[in-house]
C-alpha cells in the first residue's frame, strides 16, 4: 500500500487557482493518490471504477453515518438548531421510513412535478430574459448568476415546496441564512442561522398542517400523504428533515448547473448547434455540461467503510469516512476518452454527475429538464453571448456540501449580436 505524498489536497482545492480550474489537481490526485487521506481525516476516492463501486455498494461495504456519528463530527450541532436540522436531515437517511418516502418523492418529482414546473420555468425564464434584453442589446454586461440562475432556481423551489407569493422573499432569505450558517465559523453567524432555521421550520410546519387540511396538487401534499400512509406521525421531523436535505442539496446545485450551462455556451461556441436541435440533442448538451464541469466536486453524503476495502493496490480501512470525487471520476480517461474535451456526442451513460446507487439524486430529472429549457431559450433569444469578465467563484468549496459554484457570472452580447 502506498504512502500519502503529504500534499494538502483540501487546502489546494480551496486555493483561487483550483476554484477557477480544479482539473489539473484532480488529475494528479486520480493518477497518484486515488484513495487519498485528507488532513481532515476523511478519504477522497477519485478513480471512476472505485467511486462507482463505492456508491453502488453503499448500504453494504460502505454505510452512511447515523445521528451519533454525525453529532461527533459536528459538536456545535448540540447547541445550534441550524446545524441540528441539517444533521437530522442527513441522519433521517438511516431512519426507517425514509427510504419509502424518498422513493415516492423521486417518482413524484420525476413524473409529475417536472411537467408541472416546466411550464413555470418557461414563463419565468421568458420574464427574466425580457428584463435583461435591453441592457444586453445596449452592450451592457449582465450577471447571469444573480439575474437568472439564482432567482429562477428560487422560484422553482418555492413552487415545489408550496411557498406562497408573499412569503417567498422571507423564506428564501432564511434558508440561505441557514445554509450560510453551516459554513460559518463565528458565533454571531451561527446565532442568526439558528433564528432563521426556527422561522423556516415553523413556516413549513404550517404548510404541512395546511396540506393535511386542504390537499393540493403539489409535492408537499404528496409528501404528507405518503408520510401519513406509511408511518406513525408523532412529529413531522422526517418530512422536515427531507425538506432541509432537498433544499440544502438542491438549491445551490441547481443554480450552479444553470451557471455551468451558460459557461459552456460562452466557452464552446462551436458546439451550440446542439442547443438548436431537438430535445434529445439539448439533453446531450446538458449531460456533457454536467460531466465536463461537475457541479458537485465531492459527494456530499459521507460514507463509512464497514470493512477494509481494497481499491486496486490502495486500501480504505474499516471505519474510515470517504467522499467520492465526482469531478475527478467524470474525467477519468479509462471511461471517457479524451476527457478534457467538451463533446456532447460522447457516451455519457457512465457519468457520476448525479451520483449512483441508493442515494442517486432525487432532483436529477428536474434539473436536466430545467437546464434544457433555460439554455435553449437563452441561446434562441441571444445566439451570440460572450464573457464580460471572469466568473467570481464562491469561497466555500468542496468541503461541506461538495458544490463548486460562482457568485457572479458576467455576460454580454458579442459584436455580431448588437
Does residue number 376 form part of the binding site for ligand HEM (CB under 6 A)? no
Q: Is residue 45 close enough to count as binding ligand HEM by CB under 6 A?
A: no
C-alpha grid cell for residue 302?
459521507
Which residues touch 10 (CB under 8 Å, ≥6 apart)?
38, 39, 40, 398, 399
User: How many contiguous H segments (helices) and E segments (strands) does the chain have?
Assistant: 17, 12
CB of 383 to ligand HEM, least distance (A): 24
Four-residue CA torsion sign, 219, 222, 227, 230: negative
Q: Which of 297, 301, 396, 397 binds ligand HEM (CB under 6 A)?
A: 301
The phi and psi torsions of 403 (rounded to 5 degrees) equal -90, 135
Identify the bridge partners of residue 322 per DSSP, sorted by sequence position. 43, 303
With binding defined as CB under 6 A, does residue 353 bind ligand HEM? Answer: yes
**Contacting ligand HEM (CB under 6 A), which of 19, 36, 102, 291?**
102
- Closest separation between CB of residue 346 and ligand HEM, Å? 18
Can residue 93 be called a binding residue for ligand HEM (CB under 6 A)?
yes
Q: Which is nearer to ligand HEM, 224 or 354 (CB)?
A: 354
CA–CA separation, 352 and 347 (whole Å): 13
Q: Which is nearer to ligand HEM, 26 or 301 (CB)?
A: 301
Q: Does 362 bind ligand HEM (CB under 6 A)?
A: yes
Question: Rounded to the nearest 5°, which phi and psi values hold at 316?
Answer: -105, 110
User: The C-alpha cell of 368 is what?
Assistant: 436536466
Minimum distance from residue 257 beta carbon to ligand HEM (Å): 3
Contact 22, 13 (CB under 8 A): yes
348 touching ligand HEM, by CB under 6 A: no
Question: By CB under 6 A, is residue 246 in contact with ligand HEM?
Answer: yes
Binding mask 49-88 for ligand HEM (x = CB under 6 A): ------x---------------------------------
Position 245 contacts ligand HEM (CB under 6 A): yes
Site for ligand HEM, residues 247 to 276, rule: CB under 6 A:
249-250, 253-254, 257
Closest to 41 in 3D by CA, of 1, 83, 69, 79: 69
* CB-based contact 37:303 (threshold 8 Å): no
**300: contact with ligand HEM by CB under 6 A:** yes
- Give the orientation angle of helix 237-267 with respect to helix 364-381, to 10 degrees: 30
CB-CB neighbours of 49 under 10 Å: 15
Q: How far is the CB of 326 from ligand HEM (least distance, A)?
A: 6
Which of 295, 325, 388, 411 contacts ligand HEM by CB under 6 A? 295
Considering the complex, state which of residue 226 and residue 366 has its C-beta at the smaller distance from ligand HEM. Answer: 366
Cα angle vertex 408, ends 404, 412, to 5°? 125
What is the rounded distance in angstroms from the CA atom of residue 352 to the CA atom of residue 59? 18
- Contacting residues toward ligand HEM, per CB under 6 A: 55, 93, 102, 245-246, 249-250, 253-254, 257, 295-296, 299-301, 326, 353-355, 359, 361-363, 366-367
Amino acid at each position: 500500500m502506498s504512502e500519502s505524498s503529504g500534499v494538502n489536497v483540501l487546502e489546494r482545492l480551496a486555493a483561487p487557482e483550483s476554484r477557477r480550474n480544479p482539473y489539473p489537481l484532480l488529475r494528479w490526485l486520480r493518477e497518484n493518490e486515488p484513495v487519498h487521506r485528507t488532513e481532515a481525516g476523511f478519504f477522497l476516492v477519485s478513480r471512476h471504477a472505485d467511486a462507482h463501486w463505492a456508491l453502488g455498494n453503499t448500504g453494504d461495504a460502505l454505510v452512511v453515518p447515523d445521528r451519533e456519528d454525525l453529532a461527533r463530527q459536528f459538536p456545535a450541532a448540540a447547541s445550534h438548531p441550524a446545524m441540528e436540522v441539517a444533521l437530522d436531515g442527513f441522519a433521517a437517511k438511516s431512519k426507517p421510513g425514509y427510504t419509502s418516502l424518498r422513493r415516492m418523492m423521486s417518482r413524484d418529482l420525476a413524473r409529475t412535478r417536472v411537467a408541472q414546473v416546466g411550464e413555470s420555468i418557461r414563463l419565468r425564464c421568458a420574464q427574466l430574459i425580457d428584463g435583461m434584453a435591453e441592457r444586453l442589446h445596449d452592450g451592457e454586461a449582465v450577471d447571469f448568476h444573480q439575474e437568472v440562475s439564482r432567482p429562477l432556481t428560487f422560484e422553482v423551489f418555492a413552487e415545489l415546496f408550496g411557498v406562497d407569493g408573499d412569503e417567498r422573499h422571507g423564506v428564501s432569505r432564511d434558508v440561505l441564512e441557514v445554509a450560510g450558517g453551516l459554513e460559518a465559523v463565528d458565533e454571531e453567524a451561527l446565532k442568526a442561522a439558528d433564528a432563521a432555521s426556527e422561522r423556516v421550520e415553523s413556516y413549513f410546519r404550517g404548510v404541512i398542517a395546511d396540506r393535511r387540511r386542504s390537499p393540493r396538487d403539489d409535492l408537499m401534499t404528496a409528501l404528507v400523504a405518503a408520510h401519513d400512509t406509511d408511518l406513525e406521525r408523532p412529529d413531522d421531523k422526517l418530512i422536515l428533515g427531507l425538506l432541509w436535505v432537498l433544499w440544502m442539496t438542491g438549491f445551490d446545485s441547481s443554480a450552479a448547473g444553470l451557471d455551468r450551462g451558460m459557461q459552456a455556451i460562452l466557452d464552446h461556441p462551436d458546439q451550440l448547434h446542439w442547443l438548436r436541435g431537438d430535445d434529445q440533442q439539448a439533453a446531450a448538451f446538458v449531460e456533457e455540461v454536467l460531466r465536463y464541469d461537475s457541479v458537485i466536486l465531492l459527494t456530499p453524503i459521507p460514507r463509512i467503510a464497514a470493512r477494509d476495502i481494497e481499491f486496486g493496490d490502495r486500501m480504505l480501512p474499516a471505519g474510515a469516512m470517504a467522499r467520492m470525487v465526482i469531478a475527478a471520476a467524470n474525467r477519468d480517461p479509462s471511461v471517457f476518452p479524451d476527457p478534457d474535451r467538451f463533446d456532447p456526442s460522447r457516451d455519457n451513460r457512465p457519468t457520476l454527475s448525479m451520483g449512483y446507487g441508493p442515494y442517486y439524486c432525487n432532483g436529477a430529472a428536474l434539473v436536466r429538464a430545467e437546464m434544457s429549457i433555460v439554455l435553449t431559450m437563452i441561446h434562441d433569444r441571444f445566439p451570440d453571448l460572450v464573457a464580460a469578465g471572469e466568473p467570481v467563484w464562491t469561497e466555500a468549496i468542496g468541503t461541506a456540501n461538495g458544490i463548486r459554484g460562482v457568485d457572479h457570472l458576467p455576460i454580454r452580447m458579442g459584436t455580431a449580436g448588437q
